[in-house]
Amino acid sequence: MSLYGKILLALDLSAECDQLIDKARDIASANSAELYLLHVIEPLSFAYGGDVPMDLTTIQEQLDDHAHSRLQKYSERLDYPVAQQLVITGHTETEIHRLAQEKEIDLIIVGSHGRHGLALLLGSTANSVLHGANCDVLAVRVKDAEKE
Please state the domain count of the chain: 1
Looking at per-residue pLDDT, the higher value among 109 and 143 belongs to 109
Domain assignment present for 2: no
pLDDT of residue 139: 87
pLDDT tens, residue by residue, 75-134:
999 999 999 999 999 999 999 999 999 999 999 999 886 554 444 443 477 778 888 899
- List the domain range (segments joined by +) for residue 92: 25-32+57-67+75-103
Q: Is the pLDDT of residue 45 over 80?
A: no
User: Torsion angle of alpha carbons 8, 97, 3, 28, nearest 10°?
Assistant: 0
DSSP calls for 105-116: -SEEEEEE----
pLDDT of residue 101: 96
Domain assignment present for 17: no
Residue 107 neighbours by CB under 8 Å, 6+ apart: 4, 6, 7, 8, 27, 33, 135, 136, 137, 138
Domain assignment present for 93: yes
Domain assignment present for 8: no
Cβ pair 12, 38 in contact under 8 A: no
Give the residue-averaged pLDDT of 50-66.
76
Domain assignment present for 136: no
